Each structure stands twice: as structure tokens, then as C-alpha cells.
Structure 1
Amino acid sequence: MGSLTLIKHNAHRVDVDGLAMLMHVPTSSLFEMDTVSASVYELFRKLGVADAGTLQSELGHRFPPADLAESVQSLITLDILRDSADPGRPITVQKVEDIPLSTIILNVNTGCNLACTYCYKEDLTTPAKGEKMDFATARAAIDLLLKQAASRDKVNVVFFGGEPLSNMPLIRQVVDYTEAQVADLGKTVDFTLTTNATLLTEEIVDWLNAHRFGLTVSMDGPRALHDKNRKTVGGRGTYDVVAKKVAMLLSRYNARPVGARVTLTAGVTDVLAIHDHLINDLGFAEVGFGPATSGPIAVFNLQPEMLKSVFEDMKTLGRRYVEAAIRGENIGFSNMHQLLSDIASGMKKAVPCGAGLGLLAVDKEGDLHLCHRFVGSNQPTYGNVNKGIDVPKLAAFVEQAQDRSNFGCKTCRIRSICAGGCYHESYARQGDPFAPVYHYCDLLRDWVDFGIAAYTRIMRANPGFFRAHLQPRSAA
């Protein structure tokens, strides 16, 4: 062999309880290195470049030549080692010629009966001023979805707001229409909805149950924390009414597990107490946390030290998750579910999410947005439900999003999991949807390392946990 060089940005080693775990960065695949492979990798990490003579002189006294050659070849195949004369390989941008939708998000009302301080919705208004989507627009959106999803067996319809339950008549019409259409086409449909729960009634819950909605309730923990930000338009805290509605919901709803979505802001960062209350006191199946770092009112955003503290608490909760998983129990921590799912599946993202590819959001006028977060913003739209998707315009966006090498993402070890981060987070914080979420970068790299260790420990002690808990959740 000639001289080989280590492609540092294609491999990342994490030591877990005496095991040398190697993440293949381009695919996020995880390998346990044996002593030979670990030694070869460390030699190249130390020297950068080595040839057969160097390999033999440094490691030949410890390992047979055939074993060394096999390890080297494995690293070459993974593009972790490369001919030192190779000038490098440019990022391959996959051309987008069509938009194979699987999900449509209907923003059914701009009005909301709450006035949460951290809300990012730029078109949000009070209930009296709310502008509701009409059925003609919603029907055209469903028709567009089914046309673009011709090759898919399943489609997803998401209802969003404002508070989506404030346009319940439209939701009923859309569900009836969509179910009839997919039945004729031999497809299935999954409906999901995020709600503040204040408008739930027994009749609505039973109807949602009959149609097997995936439900998420926005709730920020115990009364003292929830009421800091989640207030009515008149300024009153909403914990008591939400907790009462949640109790009713969970007592009647059995179609699918119900989760809670928590927004962490300045003063609302007690991850452990919030999780404990929402799971053990209120009975949610799982809880997911979203740190606010780019909301419209800066005083509520988490500053760097707060954000670091939040991630440390999430790791503490993650360790509890691992301990429970080893016992075969699931404590319902959505962020860990997602992290472990990404690692278990060998995530290989070219773009951060399905926005603009498998997913589009529709506003009340029928205009198409990258996702629900962009509705009401000054960012471009990409067609209309009546005229169709502006494929060239949307394709140009997605293709540009695949190459963020000018921002440093090309050599980041979590690029296949993060792919630069949320477009809207970047737009809201930096004014550019393509700019990476730099305020998260180091924390996310640490979070992924934590996930690799968690995955390894669970896999060694109780691999059945993944089959019992992660795969069914993914399928749902």
C-alpha cells in the first residue's frame, strides 16, 4: 500500500465502559472496534499519514500482517483512510426533480386563546381576530398531498394553529374527506394535532379517539412553572384548567399514547421536576423538551449558561432513562427516544428535516411554506394548493441546503444527524435559514456522544428494549 491519510471528519471514537466505539460519521453507523482496529485507528490519529512500513514497524510486533491489512482495508472501505494523494471529495448534491410529499400541515386558525410569551408564530392573533382556513383550501391541500404522495402507502395530516381546536368544524370536514379519499386510493392516513388542551371536551376527545389522532399537549410542568409563560389573552395562568382537561383526556383517550411538549425558557428550566410532574403526577406517556433560544422576546430565551445547564439536566434524565431501559422500563423521555432512534437507524441526513421535501405547510390562503414555523414569516412561499408546488424554486432551496460546507458543517462529526440544524431556528436567530445553529453546536456534539454511550450500554445489557419500545414508537 502507498501512504494513507486519516480522514478525521469521517470518524469519531467514543470510549464506553472499556469498549472502543467508532462512529462512521457519513452514515452515523456505530462499530465496536477490536484491539487491532483500535490500534490502527489510533496510530493514524497520532501520525496523520502512514505507509506499510510505518504500520509494520509500529504495530507489527503486536499483530499479524493479515490482521493489520484487514483492519486497514476496512477503514479504507469506510473512507476513514484514504490515499494521501487524493485531493478530497466534494459534497455530492442530490438533484431534486419532484416533491414526494408524505405530510401536509394545515394552519387552520391564526387565532389562539392563549398568549404564551415565547410563541414564535408571526401571524398569531387573538381569538376574535383569528383568520380561519376554509374547507375549499383544506380540500385542495389534501388533494395536493395525495397527488404528490402517489407512490406512498401512508400520508400524514397535521392540524396546527394558533389553537387548532378553535376551528374544530374544519378539522371534522377534513378528516371525513381525507378518510374517504385514502380509502378509494388504498392508502392509510395518520392525523396529528398539538393543542393547549383548554378547548377539549369529552365529545371532542371521543371523536379524536375514534379517528386515532396522535395528540401532543403543550404544557410546561407544575403550576408555578407552567403559569410563568402560558397565560390567557387576559394574562391569567392556565395550569388549573389545562391540568383538569388533561386528566379528562387521559382518562378517556386510549387510541395512542399522549405526549407533552415542554418549552424551556429563562426561569423554566427544571427538566427533572417538569418530567416527574408530567409523567408521574399527570400521567403523560412521554415528555419532550424544546429549549427556546430564538423567540421574539429575548428576555425569555435561554442564554448560553442556561442552555448548558439544561443540557446537563437532560443528561441526568438520560442516565435515568438508561437505567430504566436496562430494567426493561420506559420512562417516556422523547428527546432520548429520538436520539437513540437516530443512532440505531444509522441516520444519514443531507438536510436537517423533511421540510420542503416530504413536508409542507399550508396557510389560510393556500400558500405553501417550508413548515408550520414559517407561516406568517417574511420568508418565501413555494406555490399554492390550487396552482401546485413551485418545484424549481423549492428544489433550489433544498439543493442549497445540502451543502453548508462554507459554514464548517462539512467536517462536523454530527453532520449526518444534525445536517446544520432547524431552518427556522437559524432564520429566527441569524436571519438566514442556511446558517447552522452555532449556539447549539458544541452542546449537540456532546449530546450525540452521550447518546452513543447510552445506546451502547442499553444494547449490551438489554437489546430487547429497542424492539419493545423504540421500534413500535417509530412505527406509530
Structure 2
Amino acid sequence: MGNFLKRHVETVFIMLGNSCNMNCVYCLQHPLVHQSLSSKVNPEIYDFIEELSKENGERGIHLQFYGGEPLLYFSVIKEIVSETKRRHIKCNYSTISNGRALTDEMVDFFNANDFPVTISWDGYHTKETRLFDVFSQSVLKERILRLKWLGLSGVISSRAYPMELLTAFQAISDEYEKMHGYKVRINLDAIFDTGIMEKSLLDVDYDRVAREMHEMATLYLKASLSGVQEARDYTKLVYIERFFQQLRDFYITKNGAWNRYTAPCGNGFTVLNLDVEGNLYPCHNTSEKIGTIHTPFFSYMEAVLKGDPTMRHREKCLECPAVSCCKGGCKLVTDKARKETYCKLKKALAVPVIQAFEEYGRRMGGERDGT
């Protein structure tokens, strides 16, 4: 028997600290973090990580370094990577960063350790949402493009819509591909209100979002049908592909049944949020502790479930077509925010894609029937 809390865990967010070198106007953590984290590593966390890794066999465990801004804690990242390698713990690593503190030493370290690094960036409107654009600085841009496994992640808001975000990502990916021979990974998140100060970012034009999503879904279907995927459409096709995978899983694999009773992110369950002292959290964007690596299993589970309203929203979610992609949404969003903005944006993103696929299905059915 092991010495620590047991879970079937796939990912551990290593919460390095809350400090940040930027002040993004939509930051989720500003309203949610009320106390600072220690950056002094408790050696017991290595024993804990090792047990988790062994439980997963050949898959090992994924360690995602997180902040605040993770690069401000680079010495701690190096320490944890060095120790897990010394102990031959089977794990892999990644981080998400605003990129502003990136140095040549960091680039070399991440590349040497096959470290995927995702840069948070909102395309052409980044200065409006993040107040600083790393890609406008030639030295920083050169360093970012030198990363061996680069990803880009943006936030859809009233300042940054899906199509323009993906167009900006495409331009970076084209430059990156010329250097490395392969493209960047891409991700888009939808803004939501945890108490953010700049409420105008929530004033999204839902009709515009819906039009853009339908246009990109149609583009994806045409490319799939013809077998011709233009390189210039890479980011749009990859983005819509994720919706397609979610829809296929929901309607074909799960036969249209939504059986989740907890948040789809897996935070607290398949995803653990661990600070370097050994404390555990329901989400890596909060500072509310719910236990430690020594907490008894049922006490820990009770604390996780207590802060997850997915079950309470279940009946209403089952009536919404976007549940096939949203899967109940984020547990941090209040009931008020869900009603006013969150669910509207989720529907604007998912429903047009569903409609495009339905239109495609009807058209294909009509062609088979000769109508």
C-alpha cells in the first residue's frame, strides 16, 4: 500500500506560485486567489508523484507547470524536472506561459527536455486584453519561435473573435513551420466571468461568433469531402476538428447520452492540482485548499464534490444542444454568470457547428435518395 491519497490521475498541475509579470484584464485568478503559495518544495511531493506514475504503468504521469506566471519560478521547474529524472520517475512535462520572461537558457532547457510550451496570446488585439504583446518584441518572438514544441492559446472575447484569432495563429504557425517543418499546436478558450473587472470583454457579439463558427464548420466539411486541405486553413480546420471529435464521441460513442455528474475538466479527479508544499486544490486557478497529499480518500472526495455544481445544473444542461461540446462547463462559473454570458457564448460556439453537420448530413442523405 502507498502512503498517499489514491486516485486514477492522468495529469498533475504543479502550482508554482501566484506571482505574475503581466496584468491581463480577463485574468481568472484575480478574483479567485486570496493567498499566496509557497515556492519551497516539500520533498514528499516526489514520493507522491512517483506513486501516481507507478499506478499508471507505462503511461506514467503528466506534470503541467502552472502559475501565476510559471517562468518566474524557473529555478523550481528545473529542480522538479531534475529530481524526477534522477529518481527515474516516468513522467512528461509541459507549461503554459505568457512568454514575457522567456530567456535563451529557458528555451534551451525546454528543448532539451522535450517540453511543450504553450504561449497565451490573443492575436492582433493582445495589447487590449493582455496589455503587452510578446510577438511585437523581436527578441521574444525569436525565442518563442525557437521552442521545439510550441503551442498558442487565445481567449475569445469581445476584443478577439474566433476567425481573427485563428488567422493570427496561422501567420505565426507559417513562420514556425518554415523553421521546424511542422506546425504549432492551437487552442481557443472562451472568456467567462469569475468576477473580472473589465466587464466589456463579456459583451461578445454572439451572432458574429455563430456566423464565423458556421463558416469554419462548412469549410471543414468541404475539405473533408474533397480530401483537399489548404495549408492556409490549418488553424481553422484543426479548431473545428476538435468540435467534430466531441460530436462524434457524444452522438456515436455515447449515443447522445450525457452521463457526467462532475465538471468535464477532471479537476480534482483525473487531474490533481498540487502546490509544491503538498497541498491540493479543486482547481489550479484558485487558492482554496481542500486537502494535502496525506488527506484520506473520502475526506478529499467530499471536499472536491462540495465545490462542483455540475449535478445541480444537470437538468438544464440536458436541454441544451451545446452540452455535446460543453459537457456542463466550468465549475468556477457562478449561476449568475452562466445565465448572463457563459452559456450564451458556449451555444454560439457549438450550435452553428452542429447545424453545419446536420445540413451536411441532410444533403448527403438527399443525394443518396436522388432528391
**What's the counterpart of residue 348 of structure 2?**
443
Q: Residues 109-258 of structure 1: matches in 2 within 5 Å?
A: 109-122=17-30, 132-136=38-42, 139-152=43-56, 153-181=59-87, 183=88, 188-222=90-124, 225-231=125-131, 237-239=132-134, 244-250=139-145, 252-254=146-148, 256=149, 258=150
**What's the counterpart of residue 269 of structure 2?**
357
CA 1:398–1:306: 2 relative to 1, 3 Å: same
Q: Does the CA-based 8 Å contact 2:134-2:140 persist in structure 1?
A: no
Q: 1:120 offset after TM fit, Å?
A: 1.0
- Point out where structure 1 has 5 or more consecutive residues left out of the alignment: 1-96, 232-236, 461-476
**TM-score of the superposition, structure 1-length normalised?**
0.60
**What's the counterpart of residue 157 of structure 2?**
265
Output one character per residue of 1:48-77: Cα deviation in whole Å (capped at 9) or x when no partner.
xxxxxxxxxxxxxxxxxxxxxxxxxxxxxx
Which structure has the higher relative contact order (CA within 8 Å, separation 6+)? Answer: 2
Q: 1:332 corresponds to which letter in structure 2?
A: T
Q: 2:104 corresponds to which letter in structure 1?
A: E
Q: Does the CA-based 8 Å contact 1:105-1:158 persist in structure 2?
A: yes
CA 1:412–1:263: 2 relative to 1, 3 Å: closer
Secondary structure in 1 matching 2:235 = coil
CA distance in 2, matches of 1:407, 1:244: 51
CA 1:313–1:448: 2 relative to 1, 3 Å: closer
Indicate yes or no: 2:165 matched with 1:274. yes
**What's the counterpart of residue 408 of structure 1?**
316
CA distance in 2, matches of 1:273, 1:402: 32
CA distance in 2, matches of 1:272, 1:302: 17
Q: 2:151 corresponds to which letter in structure 1?
A: G
Q: Does the CA-based 8 Å contact 2:97-2:120 persist in structure 1?
A: yes
Q: 1:426 offset after TM fit, Å?
A: 4.0
Q: Does the CA-based 8 Å contact 1:104-1:141 persist in structure 2?
A: no
Q: Does the CA-based 8 Å contact 1:155-1:190 persist in structure 2?
A: yes
Output one character per residue of 1:83-142: Cα deviation in whole Å (capped at 9) or x when no partner.
xxxxxxxxxxxxxx96211211112121111111111113899xxx97552222xx4334
CA distance in 1, matches of 2:186, 2:342: 23
CA distance in 2, matches of 1:276, 1:105: 30
Q: 2:23 corresponds to which letter in structure 1?
A: A
% identical aligned pairs: 20
Q: 1:313 offset after TM fit, Å?
A: 2.0
CA 1:420–1:123: 2 relative to 1, 3 Å: closer
Q: 1:328 offset after TM fit, Å?
A: 4.0
Q: 1:429 offset after TM fit, Å?
A: 3.0
Secondary structure in 2 matching 1:106 = strand
CA 1:441–1:208: 2 relative to 1, 3 Å: closer
Indicate yes or no: 2:299 matched with 1:392. yes
Q: Does the CA-based 8 Å contact 2:290-2:303 persist in structure 1?
A: no
CA 1:119–1:445: 2 relative to 1, 3 Å: closer
Output one character per residue of 1:319-376: Cα deviation in whole Å (capped at 9) or x when no partner.
3444445314561345423222223443665132211211021235532112212x22
Secondary structure in 1 matching 2:95 = strand
Q: Residues 297-376 of structure 1: matches in 2 within 5 Å?
A: 297-303=197-203, 306-325=205-224, 326-329=227-230, 331-333=234-236, 335-345=239-249, 346=253, 350=260, 351=262, 352-363=264-275, 365-373=277-285, 375-376=286-287
CA distance in 1, matches of 2:6, 2:15: 24
CA 1:220–1:173: 2 relative to 1, 3 Å: same
Q: Residues 92-107 of structure 1: matches in 2 within 5 Å?
A: 99-107=7-15
Q: 1:287 offset after TM fit, Å?
A: 3.1
CA 1:363–1:262: 2 relative to 1, 3 Å: same
Structure number with greater Rg is 1
CA distance in 1, matches of 2:277, 2:210: 39
**TM-score of the superposition, structure 2-length normalised?**
0.75
CA distance in 1, matches of 2:186, 2:27: 19
Q: 1:204 offset after TM fit, Å?
A: 1.2
CA 1:388–1:428: 2 relative to 1, 3 Å: farther
The structure richer in helix per residue is 2
**What's the counterpart of residue 192 of structure 2?**
293
Q: 1:422 offset after TM fit, Å?
A: 1.1
Q: Does the CA-based 8 Å contact 1:360-1:369 persist in structure 2?
A: yes
Q: 1:228 offset after TM fit, Å?
A: 1.0
Q: 1:442 offset after TM fit, Å?
A: 3.8
